[in-house]
Amino acid sequence: MTTAMPRRVAVLGATGSIGGSTLDVIARHPERFRASVLVANRNVEALVAACVAHRPKLAIVADPAMEGALARQLANAGVRCEVASGDDAITAAAAGPLCDTVVAAIVGAAGLESTLAAARAGKRLLLANKESIVMAGPLLLAALREGGGELVPVDSEHNAIFQCLPGGRPDLDAHGVRRLILTASGGPFRGKGRAELASVTPDQACKHPNWVMGRKISVDSATLMNKGLEVIEAHHLFGAAPDRIEVVVHPQSMIHSMVEYADGSVLAQLGNPDMRTAIAHALAWPERIEAGVAPLDLAACAPLAFEKPDLETFRCLALAFAALREGGDAPAILNAANEVAVEAFLAGALPFLSIADLVEGVLAELPAQPVVDVQALRERDAQARSVARRKLRTAC
């Protein structure tokens, strides 16, 4: 069964890996979906190419300095659509009449305002920007209640949990849920000790064994901070206390996450490591559609293995659990410090193992405060980044 009218989808982060996978799924189902709003950061050429293929109503570039180039290149390509730029334009589009579905895939804290705006406006929110809910989980949940929309997680782990729970995001106690089990690939450095990681390069850290991702999230996967952020996200999405969330390393990335019930049953969602599965599920939910993903050949799979994460070598995961338990805006401080640290590592200004040290130092200097509103969070985010950069200068 299909809807009478195609869903109008705003893809925030259209030129990234999630955005590209989303547009691929949309192109396979033109009767169901239309990419009505496309947003990019600064990659005008890729945005124009996407606009040529999908003919949106509105194209937005985050950097206002690039708006003129976007308008010219779209005109030269024969694409007629509205053009805008800047954060305010992105936020307005997420809440505006040109879309009923928003794919929130802008990387980092920059995606917070547009994600909240989509939630308040009652959109179907496909959440791929984990930083938004890590920073402002209580505010995002309040915005969802206010707007009356739907949130379907796109992160493969949370989408897997969503699929393994009755009704997607139920009351865990009422449905006999004992714990949520997030799987982690272990990243490119699984099994290595601290001595082996002292001199790793950004290119090595970004060479994920299973997934194709952007450089920032690839580094987060290598440090296990990505899994730490996902623990915080799972807490907010599903109302699970920290001691009911477990992380297990699963190198094959075939089981994307699991839910354990009180009767001893464990439900798992399996599939090839391709984000189009989660995106197609979220776009069409509660229906199922073809995603362009190859069927999982269980007979050809390597044996499935599981192991505990090494929290002494990969300390970022332990820091994320600690921030979640501390509560308040500690997760926002964690996220901000990590973004600065990863940026410095990618620039060659910080050793890999020092990412966790920097994050820990910022958390120690800025004890948690209650989450009051977005403005207060923004101020604390800026303060955490300032502290992180000061510590970077001191270390250098």
Q: Is 157 marked within a binding site?
A: yes
41 close to 68: Cβ distance less than 8 angstroms: no
Q: Is 20 assigned a ligand-binding role in the annotation?
A: no
Burial of 252: CB neighbours in 10 Å, binned 0-12, 13-18, 19+: middle
Is 223 annotated for ligand binding? no
DSSP string for 342-386: HHHHHTTSS-TTHHHHHHHHHHHHS-------HHHHHHHHHHHHH
8 Å CB contact between 266 and 181: yes
Asked whether residue 360 is marked as a ligand-binding residue, the answer is: no
Task: Please check if 289 is assigned to a binding site.
Answer: no
Cβ atoms of 383 and 363 within 8 Å: the answer is no
Q: 214 labelled as ligand-binding?
A: yes
Q: State the virtual CA torsion across 165, 251, 190, 306 in degrees, nearest 10.
A: 70
- Is 113 annotated as a binding-site member? no
130 labelled as ligand-binding? yes
**Does the annotation list 155 as a binding residue?**
yes
230 is in an annotated binding site: yes
Q: Is 226 annotated as a binding-site member?
A: yes
208 annotated ligand-binding residue: yes
**For residue 332, how many C-alpha atoms fall within 13 Å in the half-sphere facing its CB?**
32
Cβ-contact 84, 93 below 8 angstroms: yes
Q: Hunting for tokens 């995606």 — which residue is that?
A: 111
185 has binding-site annotation: yes
**Is residue 15 a known part of a binding site?**
yes
129 is in an annotated binding site: yes
Length of the chain: 396
Q: Is 381 marked within a binding site? A: no
Residue that is written with structure tokens 């659990």 in the block: 321
Q: Which residue has the tokens 């307005």?
A: 92
Binding residues: 15-18, 42-43, 129-131, 155-157, 185, 208, 214, 221, 226-227, 230
Binding residues for NADPH: 15-18, 42-43, 129, 131, 214
Binding residues for Mn(2+): 155, 157, 230
Binding residues for 1-deoxy-D-xylulose 5-phosphate: 130, 156-157, 185, 208, 221, 226-227, 230
